[in-house]
Amino acid sequence: MPQPDEVREFLVNLPEEQYGEIVADVETIRRQRVVAELEAEPRPDPLDRDGVARWLAKMHLATDPSIVEVIYLRDDLPLDEIHFVEVNRLLNLPIPPDKRLEPLDFGADVDGLGHSLFGVDVTPEQLKLVKQGRLLLPSNWSLQGNRSFVRG
């Protein structure tokens, strides 16, 4: 089996079209395998918000290789809401002028589990700014009491 450096060197030197095809094929195959494994797990009880959040975090990490961490914020929320901060190593988002991040609605009633999922995407550097208080999460969101999920 080739070493990672050898694979990297091979991919870097491929023509752009071949590179794109290979990366897309590999990601599709890996995603299908991981999603199949996760879907084989019992679906969480919709009344267990923490269980639903754990399941969704695993799904997000499994299906998007650029996400390196999903932080589940266990704020004082409505019972049907889940809040994530997703750390994405491939993002190139500017810092908002008002220094406040805005949540995105990742989908109402996620996968029929009875919860709305709201999230904020940040780069690893932006997460550091949030922790320093130099970049603000949406109103009423806090990193305190969170649960972090990482790849692997």
**Phi (first) and psi of residue 119, to 5 degrees:** -145, 160
**Phi (first) and psi of residue 79, to 5 degrees:** -65, -20
The percent of the chain in helix, strand and coil, each rounded to the nearest 5, is: 40, 20, 40
Which residue type occupies 70?
V
Q: What is the pLDDT of residue 138?
A: 92
Q: What is the pLDDT of residue 34?
A: 74
Model confidence pLDDT, tens digit, residues 66-75: 999 999 998 7
* Residues 102-130, mean pLDDT to the nearest whole number: 85
* Residues 93-115, mean pLDDT to the nearest whole number: 80
Partnered with residue 107 across adjacent β-strands are 117
In angstroms, how far is CA 115 from the centroid of its own chain?
A: 17
> At residue 115, does pLDDT exceed 70?
yes
> At residue 152, does pLDDT exceed 70?
no
Arithmetic mean of pLDDT over the chain: 86
* Residues 122-142, mean pLDDT to the nearest whole number: 93
**Phi (first) and psi of residue 100, to 5 degrees:** -115, 125
> At residue 134, does pLDDT exceed 60?
yes
What is the end-to-end Cα distance of the chain in Å, rounded?
A: 22
Domain extents for the chain?
Answer: 41-150
Task: Please determine, looking at this structure, whether the domain spanning 41-150 carries the CATH number 3.30.200.
Answer: no
Q: What is the pLDDT of residue 62?
A: 82
**Phi (first) and psi of residue 108, to 5 degrees:** -80, 145
Among 15-24, 110-119, 135-144, name the one with the lowest average pLDDT: 110-119
